[in-house]
Amino acid sequence: MAGDPAKVTRTINLSMTDNMRFTPDNLTIKQGETVKFIIINQGKILHEMVIGTLKDLQEHAEMMRKMPDMQHDDPNMVRIKPSSTGEILWTFNKSGHFDFACLQPGHSEAGMIGKLNVVSSGS
């Protein structure tokens, strides 16, 4: 769920490149943490980061293929122009396995996807 800036418990820096990769691409987060993701697009083309389940991301990717210029402003995603920085604030209120990806047409298919492992706060 969308995070409250006053309750950020952790900041994670990620970079995106035109090699269709996120760095880092595998993260472990504790359930209940509010994370501020600072994402840098080090490439020369538009990228985005979208957090969700694999099913959510596949549905969103299909929509992006049909409407690549669609504007959207959901709290679980950010579009970042070349050589720019964006942020996502997210509270991980459920444990489980989630993903993040760039859903610009062709990007996730080329490998621009990462894993989020949210562990219960008792772990």
Would you give the distance in Å from CA 61 to the centre of its chain? 13
Q: What pTM was computed for the model?
A: 0.87
For the chain, the domain total comes to 1
Contacts of 22 (CB under 8 A, 6+ apart): 14, 15, 16, 49, 100, 102, 112, 113, 114
Q: For residue 114, is pLDDT > 90?
A: yes
pLDDT at 6: 92
pLDDT at 71: 62
pLDDT tens, position by position, 38-87: 999 999 999 999 999 888 887 876 776 666 666 666 778 899 999 999 99
pLDDT tens, position by position, 3-28: 888 999 999 999 999 999 999 999 99
pLDDT at 123: 53
**What domain range includes position 43?**
5-119
CATH of the domain at 55: 2.60.40.420
Q: For residue 111, is pLDDT > 80?
A: yes
Beta strands in the chain (DSSP E): 10-17, 21-23, 26-30, 34-41, 47-52, 77-80, 85-91, 96-101, 113-119
pLDDT at 50: 93
Spell 30-59 as b/e; 16+ CB within 10 A means b.
bbebbbbbebbbbbeeebbbbbbeeeebee
